[in-house]
Structure 1
């Protein structure tokens, strides 16, 4: 009799544990956590070092031996999507208003606060791919007055309604640059400097005989991870992505003697077309 009672108790305990485990599994399906994206800016194999605007010391070389340095570097990132091998998917919400620009990130070298993007409410699971947009696409421009990192009054990189925002920018000096010292309305353009601003959110067909001015330079980039990244309630990974300034120059075959002042969408197209070569996956801290 005792053996029978003991068997019944053990059987009940087994089913109780099984049901408890099933319930926990069901509740965990809705569990979310946090993931960090760290934007690491580099030049070739070197860390990026920003110098003062009047500094003519060159720390880097292009593939064809043009010496250059960097005085400013940055880009806008939107529409971040994470995907996993088992159908996992997370889309970072983008909501732009006059008060804020949720889901829009302005990464600027030298600005420590902008170097990491924190994604909240990411469903737990495994992820092996990230997709993001470089630049501010149509929905960000057509909203009219925008707040947050898109507010021109707060230093946003805004051209005008037709051209939109500068989605990617790099400035510095180059040994071969033909830029002469210039002062315009109190603004100083140093000798030997260069400025490459990539922007433009739509194609506008020019009138007959008119020079093309506007082009859509918004780029969407997808990067695969070298292994699955696990997001769990007790595990908040940090994914490191690279933006390589040297790759921009080398893949576009830039010649600073003729290309040193890029301030219009059509002029930035040759650089926008190689942005997929600029960004890459580095590693993850799990």
Structure 2
């Protein structure tokens, strides 16, 4: 009886040992596979993030949450003035992309001047080439042409000077570039018949009125040789007149013939407003 019991016990014990060994081997195999997969993923990621790619910056003009329609759309400001916008153009320059590790890539200055024109759909997307592959978390750009560039003189502007002249984005060479050209008609409680308005920013007297914009990306822009992120930036034009500062067109209509804000004390206030009118809506990593 003892011998039979001992044999059965030993047999069961061996089975238990065998099961434990099999489980251990299985756990080890799973661990090895997981480690191998992780190493492969790291290796693939390192391969993917090398080289260069492209980035598209899309500027989508709006007015207080509504997509902008030129000529016909009635846009009511926070000051209860009603604008019909006939033209909006602005210069985007000096683009810098910030990587997730905090380092930056500065787009070549000679290629970093663009004119966004609502009337020209192809101008809404700025195609940046030869961008180092990386994960980007911020975009920085200027509105206007920086003073250092302008001080290079007419011959130092390369092809952009001729483009700005053709687009009506120059006052004159001595007066410099128009950074923003915002135009249309308006009515208000005191202005019943539609009158023209123009808001042009740029160099005036001692004020240069160049604005630098820094925007966080809600989703990382994954630049790869086979992925071109599109960073969708919404420009809220209602903030030109109503943001950090409140500016009424009707207060800038001294002769009853229209509001022309192209200098004076209001222009630096407009520039402060311009710094607030851009937001990143989303990022497509396609």
Query: Where on the TM-score scale, by shorter chain, does this alignment land: which range?
Result: 0.7 to 0.9
Which residue matches 2:172? 160
| Structure with more helix by fraction | 2
State how far apart, in whole Å, the 2-side matches of 1:267 and 1:116 are. 30
Match of 1:148 among 144, 159, 178: 159
Which residue matches 1:10? none
Q: Mark the runs of 5 or more structure 2 residues left unpaired by the alignment.
A: 1-38, 253-258
Which residue matches 1:125? 134
Larger Rg: 2
Q: Aligned ranges for residues 75-154 of structure 1 at < 5 Å?
A: 75-95=90-110, 102-145=111-154, 146-151=157-162, 153-154=165-166
Instruction: List per-residue Cα deviations over 1:9-43 (Å, max 9, x = no partner).
Output: xxxxxxxxx9xx97x88776650001100010000
Superposition RMSD in Å: 2.7
Which residue matches 2:246? 253
Q: 1:282 to 1:90 in 2, by over 3 A?
A: same
Is 1:45 paired with 2:48? no
State how far apart, in whole Å, the 2-side matches of 1:58 and 1:117 are. 26
For the residue of structure 2 that corresponds to 1:65, the secondary structure is coil
State how far apart, in whole Å, the 2-side matches of 1:153 and 1:246 are. 27
Is 1:172 paired with 2:184? yes
Q: How many residues align?
A: 235
Q: 1:104 to 1:178 in 2, by over 3 A?
A: farther
> How does the TM-score come out when normalised to structure 2?
0.74
> How does the TM-score come out when normalised to structure 1?
0.74
Match of 1:62 among 77, 89, 108: 77
Q: CA deviation at 1:273?
A: 1.2
> Contact between 2:241 and 2:273, CA under 8 Å: does it hold in 1?
no
For the residue of structure 2 that corresponds to 1:257, the secondary structure is helix
Is 1:195 paired with 2:188? no
Q: CA deviation at 1:177?
A: 9.3
Q: 1:58 to 1:106 in 2, by over 3 A?
A: closer
State how far apart, in whole Å, the 1-side matches of 2:108 and 2:82 are. 41
State how far apart, in whole Å, the 1-side matches of 2:129 and 2:149 are. 21
> Contact between 1:241 and 1:281, CA under 8 Å: does it hold in 2?
yes
